[in-house]
Structure 1
Amino acid sequence: MTKFLAIILLSCFCQVAFAQSEAVGIFQNHGDIGKPKKAGASSYDATTQTYSIKGGGDNIWFNRDEFHYLYNKIKGDFILTANFEFVGAKGNGHRKIGWMIRESADEAAASINAVVHGDGLTVMQWRPLRGAYMRDPQDEIFYAKKTVFQVVQLERNGKKVIMRVANWGEPLQEVGSHDMPDLPDAVLAGLFISSHDPEVTEEARVWNVRIDKPVPSNYHPNPQIQKTLATNQGIMGCRLETMTVLDGKRKVIRESTGRFEAPNWMPDGKKLLFNEGGSLHTIPVTGGTPEKLNTGTVSRNNNDHGISFNKKLLAISSSREGSTGGGSAVYVLPLSGGTPKLVTEQTPSYWHGWAPNSKEVTIVGQRNGSKIYNLYRADINTGKEVPLTQNTSGHVDGPEYSPDGKYIYYNANPTGTMQVWRMKPDGSGKEQITFDENHNWFPHISPDGKWIAYISFPTDIDPNAHPSYQRVTLRLMPTSGGTSKVIAYLYGGQGTINVNSWSPDSKSISFVSNSEIAEK
């Protein structure tokens, strides 16, 4: 009997190991938990970067669970975000999809789950210890609305786990949080589905799947400074993404364990331009090997660069060797590469926009010893500057022309909250465009002139700053006025969308999100 039992256990172990041996997208493991009567399955469409997850199972409840699980083993803190959608309108009202954090693949394991049911019931539920019973309502937090939320986020922050939800276009709303002190540092985390009916297999589509690992508060975005810190926390990785703005579907086209920033969409619509390591590079929008752009001896380029309206010139910002004032200067060169021509004698100067005549640029700079940044218009041939703002306090940034040349859009915080503004090209007629509690930066106007895309920082940052590694959103609003909507939820900030990254057809944008610290 003992030998027979050992053979059975070995057979079961092998079946589980085989079921979890093939990676699916970013997930290294997948399989059924709790031996549901109907087997589940997972697949990944690399073209659309969409997951299909199928599963049966009696329930995820009481002291054991039955479901299909697609997961990784992750240590420490992390943020899980994705869009979910059931396939098929019919099904048990209590079929479940969402994110799950679990101590093991044991059917009775301790876990905490962000759950959206087929009938719209939205809850955060948990089993505090292995084999313990989930109790209703003691071990659940219910969300007030009853709607099938599309965006689901689950964040682990120390011992606390936080659930947030939204329908696409809306800000994330917190369902609740709960401490899970007995979960180990290394846990299983991933997507799940359960049919709530042993005789049925349910299916869901999941897209915009992101696993982000936030950094400590003392993390520094400069790799050289970061290496000198006593904690030596490593360098934060990046993703280069594209997104169709009308449905929010995103694609990762490049990932790196290093830092790169601020894509521009090239005029042919086939490539992106971005900065990394002081140089500029192009890459196909479908992904591939980056190619370095020739910028001559100007080799300390930062994330402020962009393409002229006539599609012939490139403006760049780079630390200037030998400058008495220090900091960044603005240059122009042929878009195909070549020898840059200096535009700004005074530093620091950061490029942010081209005039439609392709003969002038808008810049952000400090002048005459002032520590306050102001906005200027500069002639690329003569270097002559015209001041557009005369701030004595606060901060202004991101000046960018509308394609018709009627306005310069920018961000400013005269009231203490950073908001989007616009003015006439001569600096007159300043008017505020956004009005909310967020800190809104870097308005970018679509080539057809119909849309403004911008980045929103949380309320707890310095309104003069746009730091890296924050929980930020990208937002879209009509240039004609109206309510903005959220088009992307991500971990990012400085370098995400500092410059205009609209596609030539005004249907997509590109941006950079942060992922996790590279292994040391």
Structure 2
Amino acid sequence: MKHLLFSVACIMSCSLPLQFLMAQQKIISILETVEVSSGQRTVLCRDTSHFEAPNWSRDGKYLLLNKAGKLYQFQIDSKQWNTLPFGAGLKANNDHGFSPNGELLAISSGIVEKDDPAFGKGSVIYIADAQGGNLRRITSLSPSYWHGWSPDGKTLAFVGQRNGEFDIYSIPASGGTEKRLTNTPGLDDGPDYSPDGKYIYYNSYRSGKMEIWRMEADGSNAEQLTDDGYANWFPHPSPDGKQLVFLSFMEDQGQDHPFGKDVRLRIIDLETGETRNLTGIFFGGQGSINVPSWSPDSRYVAFVRYEVIK
């Protein structure tokens, strides 16, 4: 979650509209998978709690989601929820994901260091063990929101607000100096590496509407991939590098990606350039597919949709 400048900061981005909706009616979160070849959808879980942003574990056995500031494993076979054993200070938002070898997690969270003047505020990036624990801070500046991990495991791609502008940055996974990769007016967001490490896919408002772009991993040679009637966000290449899934809002949201809108998943064949609908329209947006959610075999995509029960 991000973009305080555009009314979508970590807490405010979905909690204000969500609180309004919850005060008026009941919201149900629904975790689904969709088979890419057939479009067949499978509901894994329906729950009255608000959860977001599924990541598929590297062994394919569970999905990682955030709920109320904590991270949970949802076991696909048993349908069991397991809470990752982080301390009470963790305030995870919906930007999190696995290292290429599956042993580590990148987590965007409010600051957990009590000696930091911004304790509990903003968002910075942490690295932790995949099963919980050993949390260590990577970015010093806030707000910072993780979105991608280079395939060699050495570099993180993230979105940061610096001097009032949201741009894409990279930083060593071990910590160090961040590097600015985009430098154009308007929001750049959602960076995710291609499996060969050559490209970073992202969404950008630089053309006057939110569209999918890609650039080389050093930030050079940016090119626009979509130009249509949708507002397009959060591109994620498949592990085999053949397809790109992303979230499309039915109406232009400007530089905002709110909760509670009509959206659908769409997909680009990266070999032919053909774009098609992966799902029909559903109620979602913020929290549906912010982070990489492909199955390890590139056959399925996990996402969250919501229902309003009046």
Is 1:309 matched with 2:104? no
Deviations 1:396-430 (A, max 9, x none): 10001001001000000112111110011110010
Q: 2:154 aligns with which of 359, 363, 370?
A: 359
After TM superposition, give the deviation of residue 491 of structure 1 in Å: 1.2
After TM superposition, give the deviation of residue 225 of structure 1 in Å: 7.3
Distance in 2 of aligned mates of 1:503 and 1:232: 35
Distance in 1 of aligned mates of 2:76 and 2:169: 33
- Structure-2 change in CA distance of 1:323 and 1:436 (3 Å): farther
User: Tell me, what secondary structure is at the counterpart of 1:488?
Assistant: coil
* Counterpart residue type for residue 210 of structure 2: M
- Structure-2 change in CA distance of 1:236 and 1:506 (3 Å): same
Deviations 1:181-217 (A, max 9, x none): xxxxxxxxxxxxxxxxxxxxxxxxxxxxxxxxxxxxx
- Structure-2 change in CA distance of 1:233 and 1:323 (3 Å): farther
- Structure-2 change in CA distance of 1:299 and 1:511 (3 Å): same
Deviations 1:423-475 (A, max 9, x none): 1111001001112121110000111111100000122x322011111111101
Map of 1:491 onto structure 2: 283
Alpha carbons 1:248, 1:488 under 8 Å: kept: yes
Is 1:345 matched with 2:140? yes
Distance in 1 of aligned mates of 2:27 and 2:166: 28
Is 1:222 matched with 2:222? no
Alpha carbons 1:235, 1:259 under 8 Å: kept: no
- Structure-2 change in CA distance of 1:501 and 1:483 (3 Å): same
User: Tell me, what secondary structure is at the counterpart of 1:366?
Assistant: strand
Is 1:288 matched with 2:83? no
Deviations 1:17-45 (A, max 9, x none): xxxxxxxxxxxxxxxxxxxxxxxxxxxxx
Q: How many residues align?
A: 294
User: Tell me, what secondary structure is at the counterpart of 1:415?
Assistant: coil
Instruction: Write out the 4+ residue segments of structure 1 that deviate beyond 3 Å after TM superposition.
Output: 321-326
Structure with bigger gyration radius: 1
Q: 2:190 aligns with which of 375, 398, 401?
A: 398
Q: 1:380 aligns with which of 173, 182, 189?
A: 173
Deviations 1:349-393 (A, max 9, x none): 0000001121210010112xx2220110011223310100113x3
Alpha carbons 1:221, 1:236 under 8 Å: kept: no
Distance in 1 of aligned mates of 2:111 and 2:133: 17
Q: TM-score, normalised by structure 1?
A: 0.54
Deviations 1:309-331 (A, max 9, x none): 12211100001144549411100
Map of 2:61 onto structure 1: 270
Alpha carbons 1:226, 1:234 under 8 Å: kept: no
After TM superposition, give the deviation of residue 235 of structure 1 in Å: 4.9
Alpha carbons 1:304, 1:498 under 8 Å: kept: yes
After TM superposition, give the deviation of residue 287 of structure 1 in Å: 5.4
Distance in 1 of aligned mates of 2:161 and 2:173: 18
Map of 2:210 onto structure 1: 418
CA RMSD of aligned residues (A): 2.1
Distance in 1 of aligned mates of 2:223 and 2:17: 40
- Does 1 or 2 have the higher relative contact order (CA < 8 Å, sep 6+)? 2
Alpha carbons 2:56, 2:295 under 8 Å: kept: yes
After TM superposition, give the deviation of residue 223 of structure 1 in Å: 7.0
Distance in 1 of aligned mates of 2:242 and 2:135: 32
Distance in 2 of aligned mates of 1:435 and 1:494: 21
After TM superposition, give the deviation of residue 299 of structure 1 in Å: 1.9
Map of 2:307 onto structure 1: 515
Matches within 5 A, 1:137-216: none
- Structure-2 change in CA distance of 1:224 and 1:486 (3 Å): closer
Map of 1:452 onto structure 2: 244
Distance in 2 of aligned mates of 1:478 and 1:511: 19
* Counterpart residue type for residue 309 of structure 1: P
Distance in 1 of aligned mates of 2:253 and 2:206: 13
Q: 1:333 aligns with which of 128, 151, 155?
A: 128
Map of 1:239 onto structure 2: 30
- Structure-2 change in CA distance of 1:225 and 1:470 (3 Å): closer
Deviations 1:277-336 (A, max 9, x none): 111111122452200012335421010001111221110000114454941110001112
Distance in 1 of aligned mates of 2:188 and 2:117: 24
Distance in 1 of aligned mates of 2:308 and 2:289: 19
Q: 1:257 aligns with which of 30, 36, 48?
A: 48
- Structure-2 change in CA distance of 1:323 and 1:507 (3 Å): farther
* Counterpart residue type for residue 143 of structure 2: P
Which piece of structure 1 moves more, 234-243 or 447-456? Answer: 234-243
Distance in 1 of aligned mates of 2:17 and 2:248: 28
Q: 1:469 aligns with which of 246, 257, 260?
A: 260
Alpha carbons 2:14, 2:286 under 8 Å: kept: no
* Counterpart residue type for residue 129 of structure 2: P
Distance in 1 of aligned mates of 2:267 and 2:131: 31
What are the ranges of 5 or more consecutive residues in structure 2 without an aligned counterpart?
A: 1-12
Map of 1:433 onto structure 2: 225
Q: TM-score, normalised by structure 2?
A: 0.89
What are the ranges of 5 or more consecutive residues in structure 1 without an aligned counterpart?
A: 1-219
User: Tell me, what secondary structure is at the counterpart of 2:259?
Assistant: coil
* Counterpart residue type for residue 19 of structure 2: Q
Alpha carbons 1:223, 1:235 under 8 Å: kept: no
Distance in 2 of aligned mates of 1:243 and 1:333: 29
